[in-house]
């Protein structure tokens, strides 16, 4: 059949009680009926009437009439009127599942009985474009007469000056600035760029070898005379280092570690120096209260030598838990929670997408939908309900405009996870126009 001319519009109206109560002019959009508010023609809910049904579809630059089982009506094909039953019996309409599809020529017209209302359709020429209003010639004036000439003159002079200055700057050569050497700078700038190192004040040094008390306050040491200017810088640094070592070695635990009755440098120096003086460390720690030292003879025994305080050495085997039972340190096992996912028949607005093929495609990826449900089922074992997802299949095959139309689970996390999962799908369908799909999922715990 010849395709419908692009200049023709499809006029669709609803007649009720002998008068037209609603009328639409469409060029390429599909005409849907039902009690859903998103339909082209909204009808009151009735038994056997779906919430959304595509009555007139636009495919391949041509409108086609979709006839559902039990639907009554007539179509004028140019020569005679044919009712829907004759279209089915004579094979004039192509069968598509339970439906029949009839391509419409630009001369076709007809009506569809919808209970108490009747829907009619026909192709009409678009209304002519309204002519733009034109003022009379004696009223119209030129822009030069209505322009503020003083303002225009000031604006032109300003633009001329600014652009001339910019062109002069661009065309002029960049001046060469000679770099100054450091010896050419003033002394105050040199001091700002290269700050002088401050002169360190001489530090007092300890003259005696007496030990400092165990409190945190160091002894007052006699002051030494400032080093002479002729003394080398290396000797001064070594002297300051020796002073710091003396001050630190006389405080707290370092004083104990540094003590040695043998006249050496102490157990601390022995350890840092790489020697093997284990006995020196034990002797040094013997003076600390509450510290016990394990020797070779006491390793593994129930008790060991005591230090100067209350410390006691014991082996690891003697350490045990006290209580009336045993602690079970078994492997951690996570409870396995299973759920069932049942999908119902989807609602599709276009014939370009096969409903059975779409259902098979979704069932093959049901594991991802089930995973979204089982994640929240671990938190709420009684979680169950129905989620209806509405999305469109774009001409590229990807899903778009994904939204949760109905969610009786009461869990927004499951709906968000399902939207993310469907967004990554690439369907094996590439319709000519975007096709809306409403897909339901029913969730329930397994077992």
pLDDT band for position 247 (cuts 50, 70, 90): low
Q: Where in the chain is the domain with CATH 2.60.200?
A: 9-124
Position 162 pLDDT exceeds 90: yes
Of 124, 4, 145, nearest to 63 by C-alpha is: 4
Q: What pLDDT does residue 337 have?
A: 65
More confident residue, 291 or 136: 136
Q: What pLDDT does residue 250 have?
A: 58
CA distance linking residue 300 with residue 321, whole number of Å: 18
Sign for the pseudo-dihedral over CA of 90, 96, 99, 100: negative
Burial (Cβ within 10 Å: 0-12, 13-18, ≥19) of residue 383: buried
Q: What pLDDT does residue 154 have?
A: 95
pLDDT band for position 184 (cuts 50, 70, 90): low
Q: What are 432-443's pLDDT values in tens digits?
A: 888 888 889 888
C-alpha distances out from residue 262 to 4, 46, 277, 293, Å? 115, 109, 12, 19
Q: What are 345-363's pLDDT values in tens digits?
A: 788 877 778 888 888 888 8
Comparing 6-10, 168-172, 209-213, 245-249, the range with the smallest average pLDDT is 209-213
pLDDT band for position 43 (cuts 50, 70, 90): confident
Q: 């007809």: which residue's tokens? A: 110
Position 314 pLDDT exceeds 60: no
Q: What are 194-233's pLDDT values in tens digits?
A: 666 666 677 766 555 444 445 444 444 444 444 444 455 5
Burial (Cβ within 10 Å: 0-12, 13-18, ≥19) of residue 265: middle
Q: What are 361-379's pLDDT values in tens digits?
A: 888 888 888 888 888 888 8
Of 389, 386, 387, 391, nearest to 349 by C-alpha is: 391
Q: What are 47-60's pLDDT values in tens digits?
A: 777 889 898 998 88
Q: What pLDDT does residue 227 have?
A: 44
- 8 A C-beta contact, residue 288 and residue 310: no
CA distance linking residue 53 with residue 32, whole number of Å: 5
β-sheet bridge partners, residue 341: 443
Q: 């006290």: which residue's tokens? A: 322
Phi and psi, residue 55, nearest 5°: -80, -40
Mean pLDDT, the chain, rounded, equals 74
HSE toward the beta carbon, residue 18, CA cutoff 13 A: 0
Strands 399-407 and 385-393: antiparallel
Q: What pLDDT does residue 251 have?
A: 55
Q: What pLDDT does residue 232 have?
A: 54
More confident residue, 351 or 91: 91
Of 65, 56, 43, 17, nearest to 114 by C-alpha is: 43
Residue 114 burial (CB count, 10 A): 19
294-314 average pLDDT score: 45
pLDDT band for position 149 (cuts 50, 70, 90): confident
Q: 339-445 architecture in CATH?
A: 2-Layer Sandwich (3.30)
Position 255 pLDDT exceeds 70: no
176-196 average pLDDT score: 65
Domain 9-124 fold: Tumour Suppressor Smad4 (2.60.200)
- Opening angle at CA 55, ends 9 and 36, nearest 5: 110
Q: What HEC string does 69-87 produce?
A: CCCEEEEECCCCEEEHHHH
Residue 129 gets which letter from DSSP?
Answer: P
Q: Where in the chain is the domain with CATH 3.30.1150?
A: 339-445
CA distance linking residue 106 with residue 92, whole number of Å: 17
pLDDT band for position 161 (cuts 50, 70, 90): very high
Of 227, 231, 226, 208, nearest to 218 by C-alpha is: 208
């Amino acid at each position: 059949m010849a395709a419908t001319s692009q200049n023709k519009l499809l006029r669709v109206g609803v007649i009720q009680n002998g008068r037209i109560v609603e009328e639409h002019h469409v060029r390429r959009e599909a005409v849907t009926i039902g009690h859903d508010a998103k339909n082209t023609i909204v009808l009151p809910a009735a038994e056997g009437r779906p919430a959304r049904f595509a009555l007139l579809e636009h495919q391949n630059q041509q409108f086609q009439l979709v006839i559902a089982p039990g639907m009554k009506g007539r179509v004028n094909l140019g020569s005679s009127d044919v009712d829907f039953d004759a279209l089915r019996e004579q094979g004039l309409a192509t069968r598509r599942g339970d439906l029949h599809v009839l391509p419409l020529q630009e001369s076709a017209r007809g009506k569809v009985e919808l209970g108490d209302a009747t829907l009619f359709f026909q192709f009409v020429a678009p209304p002519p474009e309204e002519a733009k209003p034109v003022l009379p010639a004696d009223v119209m004036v030129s822009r030069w007469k209505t322009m503020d000439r003083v303002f225009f003159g000031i604006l032109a002079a300003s633009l001329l000056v600014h652009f001339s200055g910019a062109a002069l700057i661009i065309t002029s050569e960049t001046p060469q600035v000679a770099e100054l050497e450091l010896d050419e700078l003033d002394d105050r700038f040199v001091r700002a760029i290269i700050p002088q190192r401050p002169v360190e004040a001489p530090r007092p040094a300890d003259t005696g070898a007496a030990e400092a008390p165990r409190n945190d306050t160091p002894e007052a040491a006699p002051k030494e005379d400032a080093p002479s200017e002729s003394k080398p810088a290396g000797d001064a640094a070594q002297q300051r280092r020796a002073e710091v070592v003396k001050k630190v070695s006389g405080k707290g635990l370092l004083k104990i570690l540094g003590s040695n009755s043998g006249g050496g440098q102490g157990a601390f120096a022995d350890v840092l120096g790489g020697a093997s003086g284990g006995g020196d460390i034990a002797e040094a720690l013997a003076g600390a209260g509450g510290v016990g030292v394990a020797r070779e003879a006491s390793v593994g025994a129930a008790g060991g030598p005591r230090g100067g305080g209350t410390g006691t050495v014991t082996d690891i085997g003697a350490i045990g838990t006290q209580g009336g039972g045993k602690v079970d340190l078994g492997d951690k096992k996570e409870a396995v929670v299973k759920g069932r996912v049942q999908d119902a028949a989807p609602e599709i607005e276009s014939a370009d997408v096969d409903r059975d093929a779409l259902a098979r495609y979704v069932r093959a990826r049901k594991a991802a939908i089930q995973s979204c449900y089982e994640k929240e089922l671990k938190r709420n074992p009684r979680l169950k309900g129905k989620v209806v997802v509405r999305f469109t299949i774009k001409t590229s095959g990807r899903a778009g405009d994904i939204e949760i139309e109905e969610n009786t689970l009461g869990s927004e996390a499951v709906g968000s996870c399902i939207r993310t999962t469907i967004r990554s799908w690439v369907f094996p369908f590439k319709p000519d126009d975007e096709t809306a799909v409403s897909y339901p999922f029913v969730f329930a715990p397994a077992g």
